[in-house]
């Protein structure tokens, strides 16, 4: 499914690119409705977009004279459409021209002339991190422009985003990626040979882009563009956490659906903070192996290091690619240094350990004695309290017994039949006797 999806995307991008190729070989920007016509051009055709149903534009020549649709001649042929004007002029006056009218669209003029910018076609499917050498040439007809025209020429490549929500580059606007040179240095082979060369670094998020190559000097301006899709890098890397006494471990993962495993070659460079190369190594891919582990020789000096990796491989579609991976960093910790003056011998350590053990034993003994003393005191206090309560209880019982013996209580529930019979004197009224004696 992934392969079919890729083919569909590539076909759509290809159709989009073809649809835009009608006049793209010589697009020029319209700045303040002005543009420049090259020297020595025998015939030129302007295609100027304007608002629908508006009047045809007016062209102002470099000398100030005007070319109108109403004044068309054999040398100036004019085709008026609903939304554009196509004007073909024989032997046009070289220099700056101006278009007057309600121009619309993206404010550009498409121009056809003998001066053409040709740029090496880019692969439609590119990878994030890929590196590509791209060339461009300028021609007048079928002949390269001479040195006088390209002496101050500079080509530049700019990436424009499509702002599609499904892409990782959704918020990407535009960015200049590279400059083309013809000085014979860096990646350019020969100076002033008319072939401009640049080294394209695709450090971009995944998604669809429009890559535009433009050239501009005081004589002419040209631009060509192409749609491309940037895919995720087919290789990923990471360094495992550093372990003391173990070499740093580098782990690589390959996407075997995108790459031919046997073609993979990894060039690795270990650099320090000063970007001095410490170590270089080469790794080779193996058939059906999508994971590779490599033990990086542990640097002798402590500090921070980086691993720079470049992959050379062949894709499953047969294209040779070079992919630069993001640098991976690791740190060799500084070893702990012991001052000899503060170093302690083994005997001293043993003596100190014995002394500390003796202190601990002595403290334990004191603690145990304190526990015994506290326990004894608590026992005595509890015994004294118990004795006091016992004495109080005994005294109370003794007192209650003495009271009960001295004051007998009357019998309860006594039956009258059991009581002794009254004597005759029991009913004697003593008060009466007392009164009779008195008399």
- Output the pLDDT for position 308: 95
- Output the pLDDT for position 93: 87
φ, ψ at 382 (rounded to 5°): -65, -40
Rounded mean pLDDT of 8-13?
Answer: 40
- Output the pLDDT for position 232: 95
Q: Which residue has the higher pLDDT, 250 or 398?
A: 250
All domains of the chain in start order, with CATH: 24-111 (2.60.40), 114-232 (2.60.40.2550), 235-332 (2.60.40.10)
Q: Residue 253 contacts by C-beta under 8 Å, 6 or more apart in sequence?
A: 235, 236, 237, 290, 291
What's the pLDDT band for 217 if we cut at 50, 70, 90?
Answer: low
Per-chain mean pLDDT for the chain: 79
Strands (DSSP E) along 167-326, which ranges? 174-180, 195-201, 207-216, 221-231, 235-239, 249-254, 265-272, 277-284, 291-295, 303-314, 320-324
pTM: 0.58
pLDDT in tens, 404-430: 776 555 555 544 544 455 444 444 454
What's the pLDDT band for 389 if we cut at 50, 70, 90?
Answer: confident
Res 204 pLDDT > 70? yes
- Give the Cα separation of 225 and 208 in Å (integer): 13
pLDDT in tens, 292-327: 999 998 888 889 999 999 999 999 999 999 999 999
Res 159 pLDDT > 90? yes
Res 431 pLDDT > 70? no
- Output the pLDDT for position 146: 66
What's the pLDDT band for 372 if we cut at 50, 70, 90?
Answer: confident
Q: Are 97 and 60 in contact (CB under 8 A)?
A: yes
φ, ψ at 331 (rounded to 5°): -130, 130
φ, ψ at 285 (rounded to 5°): -75, 160
DSSP state of 417: G
- Output the pLDDT for position 344: 58
Range ranked top by mean pLDDT from 104-108, 343-347, 350-354: 350-354
Q: Are 290 and 333 in contact (CB under 8 A)?
A: no
């Amino acid at each position: 499914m992934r392969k079919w999806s890729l083919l569909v995307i590539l076909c759509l991008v290809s159709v989009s690119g073809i649809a835009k190729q009608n006049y793209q070989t010589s697009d020029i920007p319209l700045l303040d409705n002005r543009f420049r016509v090259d020297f020595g051009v025998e015939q030129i055709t302007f295609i100027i977009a304007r608002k629908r149903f508006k009047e045809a534009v007016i062209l102002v020549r470099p000398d100030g004279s005007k070319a109108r649709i109403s004044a068309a001649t054999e040398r100036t042929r004019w085709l008026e459409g609903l939304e554009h004007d196509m004007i073909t002029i024989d032997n046009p006056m070289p220099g700056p021209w101006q278009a007057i009218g309600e121009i619309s669209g993206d404010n550009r003029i498409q121009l056809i002339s003998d001066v053409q910018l040709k740029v090496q076609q880019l692969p439609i499917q590119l990878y994030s991190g890929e590196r590509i050498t791209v060339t461009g040439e300028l021609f007048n007809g079928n002949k390269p422009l001479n040195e006088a025209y390209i002496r101050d020429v500079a080509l530049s490549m700019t990436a424009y985003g499509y702002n599609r929500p499904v892409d990782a580059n959704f918020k990407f606007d535009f960015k200049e990626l590279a400059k083309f040179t013809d000085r014979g240095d860096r990646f350019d082979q020969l100076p002033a040979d008319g072939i401009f060369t640049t080294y394209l670094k695709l450090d971009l998020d995944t998604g669809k882009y429009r890559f535009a190559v433009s050239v501009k000097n005081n004589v002419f301006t040209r631009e060509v563009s192409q749609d491309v899709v940037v895919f995720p890098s087919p290789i990923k890397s990471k360094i495992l956490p550093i372990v003391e006494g173990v070499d740093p471990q580098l782990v690589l993962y390959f996407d075997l659906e995108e790459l031919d495993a046997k073609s993979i070659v990894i060039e690795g460079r270990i650099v320090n903070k000063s970007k001095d190369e410490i170590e270089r190594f080469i790794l080779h891919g193996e058939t059906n192996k999508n994971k590779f582990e490599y033990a990086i020789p542990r640097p002798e000096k402590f500090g921070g290091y980086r691993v720079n990796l470049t992959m050379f491989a062949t894709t499953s579609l047969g294209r040779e690619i070079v992919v630069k991976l993001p640098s991976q960093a690791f740190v060799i910790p500084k070893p702990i240094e012991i001052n000899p003056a503060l170093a302690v011998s083994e005997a001293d350590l043993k003596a100190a350990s014995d002394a500390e053990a003796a202190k601990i034993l002595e403290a334990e003994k004191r603690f145990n004695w304190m526990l015994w003393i506290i326990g004894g005191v608590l026992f005595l206090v509890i015994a004294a309290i118990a004795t006091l309560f016992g004495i109080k209880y005994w005294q109370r019982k003794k007192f209650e017994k003495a009271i009960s013996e001295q004051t007998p209580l009357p019998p309860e529930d006594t039956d009258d039949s059991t009581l002794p019979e009254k004597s005759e004197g029991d009913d004697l009224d003593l008060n009466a006797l007392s009164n009779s004696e008195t008399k």
